[in-house]
Structures are given as structure tokens and as C-alpha cells.
Structure 1
Amino acid sequence: MPPRLKRLLGVLLLLAFVFLYIWVMTDVGAVVISRVENPWRMLYFVLAGIAWIVPAGAIIWWMYRPRRTGS
């Protein structure tokens, strides 16, 4: 796959992932977490705010990974 196409697909995938992640995490936070005490709410949103980094990093790593040559 040409590098420019790979990066374009990666950007589109990353945008779709981030929007879906935000939507799911805010819905979960609004429905489930709203029933618990304030410290647990804060912990949820801190963890949810950090957890997207790992999958986003994997997408970015895939986008910029050098193409293998050879067999």
C-alpha cells in the first residue's frame, strides 16, 4: 500500500475511532457512572480520558511503520 494512502486511511480510522470512543464513554458515564459518588466519577473520566491513547497510538504506529521489503 502506498504510504500516502496508508496515512490517509490511518487518519480516517483515527478520527472514526476517537469520535466513537468519545460517544461511548460519555454515554456510559452519563448512564452508569452518574449513579455513583463524585470521587468514582472523577476516576472514571480520568481513566476514560487516558485509555484512548493506547489504541490511537497503535493506529499511528501502523500509519508510520516502514514498508517491509523482500519476500
Structure 2
Amino acid sequence: MPLRLKKLIGTILLVALVVIYALIASAVAVTRLVEYGPVVHLLFFLFSGLLWVLPAMGIIKWLMIERRPNG
């Protein structure tokens, strides 16, 4: 796969991950955490705000893998 195409795909994947993850985290907070106080909200958003890094690291690791020439 050409490097430019790989970077384009990786960029699109990262942006999509952040947008979709933020929408899901917000929807979960609105629907499930309505009756809880601000401390629970803070902990949820702190945890969910850091959790997206794990799949992003996988995408970035994939981007860093270099293609080896045949032979």
C-alpha cells in the first residue's frame, strides 16, 4: 500500500474514531447517568476521555509499520 494512501486512511480512521467515540460517550452519559451527581459524571468523562487512546494507539501503530521490500 502506498504510504500516502495509508496516511490518508489512518487520518480518516482517527477522525472517525474520535467523532463516533465522542457521540457514543455523550449518549451513554445522557441516558445512563441522569440520576447521578456531578462526581460520577466527572469520573465517567475522565475515564471515557482517556479510553479512546487505546484504539487510537492501534491505528497509529499500524501507520508506523513500514512495508518491507520483497527479497
Q: State TM-score, norm by structure 1.
A: 0.89
RMSD: 1.4
Alignment identity in percent?
34
Separation (CA, whole Å) in 1 of partners of 2:58 and 2:23? 20
Count how many residue pairs are aligned between Structure 1 and Structure 2: 71
Normalised by the length of structure 2, the TM-score is 0.89
User: Residues 21 and 52 of structure 1 are in contact (CA less than 8 Å); yes or no, is this contact kept in structure 2?
Assistant: yes
Structure 1: which 5+ runs fail to align? none
Deviations 1:33-68 (A, max 9, x none): 122122211110000110011111111111121113
Structure 2: segments with no counterpart, 5+ residues: none
Letter in 2 for 1:25: A
3-state SS, counterpart of residue 35 of structure 1 = coil
Structure 1 runs, 4 residues or longer, greater than 6 Å off? none
